[in-house]
Amino acid sequence: MSNPTPRVRVPAKAKAGEIIEIKTLISHEMESGQRKDSAGKAIPRKIIKAFTASFNGKPFLESDWHPAISANPYQSFFFKVTQAGEFRFVWKDDDGSEYVATNKIELA
């Protein structure tokens, strides 16, 4: 499979105090480690095991994922905007690689 590509939807502007929804999607097969190939051999697990969302360098949401998360994981969560700044989203793979996306937000 090609390199996992994260896609994030964050509003470009928000009022101070507004709670915004953030949606993220990343292409990843999330191989559960439960499947067998045609020869009956177990296919080794390879999933994204953790996700962190930070704003201006401060993490505000962390999550641990298990093999029960669907392929091409989608999620949505919320954030209360108090100032302009930059979001940083990091997905951590079983193999040690990290997939990163950044998004800026301005005050309306």
CA dist 79 → 11, 55, 82, 96 (Å): 11, 9, 9, 27
Closer Cβ to other proteins, 7 or 80, answer by number: 80
CB of 85 to other proteins, least distance (A): 12
Counting Cβ atoms within 10 Å, is residue 26 exposed (0-12), middle (13-18) or buried (19+)?
A: buried
In the region spanning residues 9 to 28, those forming contacts with other proteins, defined by CB under 8 A, are: 19-20
Residue 95's contacts (CB-CB under 8 Å, 6 or more residues apart) are 46
Closer Cβ to other proteins, 36 or 44, answer by number: 36
Number of Cβ within a 10 Å radius of residue 30: 20
In the region spanning residues 59 to 98, those forming contacts with other proteins, defined by CB under 8 A, are: 59-71, 73-80
By CB under 8 A, tell whether 39 contacts other proteins.
no
Contacts to other proteins by CB under 8 A: 19-20, 32, 34-36, 55, 58-71, 73-80
